[in-house]
Amino acid sequence: FAAHAATTDKVFDSAEDLVLWDVTGREDVVTEQMSAHPYVDLSAGDLKRDPFDAHAILRLGATDGSAPDIATDIAVEICLDHADARLRGAMSRTRWPRGDGGIDLQIVPSCGAALSPGAVAAVAGGYAFNVDGQLAVGDSILPTGSGSVFGVRSAYGNYIDPANPRYRAHTQLAGVVSAAVGDDGRSPSATDAELARFADDLVTVVPVVAPPTLDTFFSGGPGAVHIYGLRAPLPLGPARADASAPT
């Protein structure tokens, strides 16, 4: 389908999603106890059939099937859905058109999560990208770096609010050299994705100047823009183990 906008639903309900505390007397707040979390049928995989259905994977590029080589498959996996391997768990059931599919860009927005080694579902030459508004990552609190982050080889950028150091956030990128095998990473016959080594300077941080009305919009300071591959753009396609330079 051709569309300018699309949505996806989150499958797994987490403590970050809705208000947990008692709101007696308030009629304008929906609590987690009041919610009915939507059921998403993944028995036939997670490829979208309609822009506004509950599934997670959509194809950009050739919408008429005439040039599959220029199509890009993108999937959005929200927070706990990634920790519970929603996309990887449904990969063998996903009915790709013409059998030529696979996730090129796995995008993971979260609040208190990082990329999980057993949940990276992108194809060889693809990427998994995480942006999180609750924690910083890495062996030490550095603005940028690369290495193992909770068992995932990746490049990352951190943000700490200068006015309130308790407020932290990060971005994280993993490049896939060879795709994961098997839907269930806990199975003895399964293997997780092999990930690329990135240079420490892959991430460029661009500071954001706080506007005078900042406190009416953002609780965590002005933030920053993280650019991956500004000096050497990262290609989509077959990757090599050392991804410090384009292939």
The domain segmentation of the chain, as residue ranges, is: 32-228
Reported as a single tens digit per residue, the pLDDT across 197-235 is 999 899 999 998 888 888 777 778 889 999 999 988 898
Distance CA 238, CA 127 (A): 11
Residue 147: strand pairing partners: 154
Evaluated on CA atoms 158, 162, 166, 167, the torsion sign reads: negative
| Burial of residue 216 (number of CB atoms within 10 Å: 0-12, 13-18, 19+) | exposed
Mean pLDDT of the chain: 86
Q: What is the pLDDT of residue 156?
A: 96
| 19 has a pLDDT exceeding 90 | no
Q: What is the pLDDT of residue 67?
A: 55
| 246 has a pLDDT exceeding 50 | no
Q: What is the pLDDT of residue 98?
A: 66
Task: Give residues with Cβ within 8 angstroms of 93, minimum separation 6.
Answer: 42, 43, 44, 45, 183
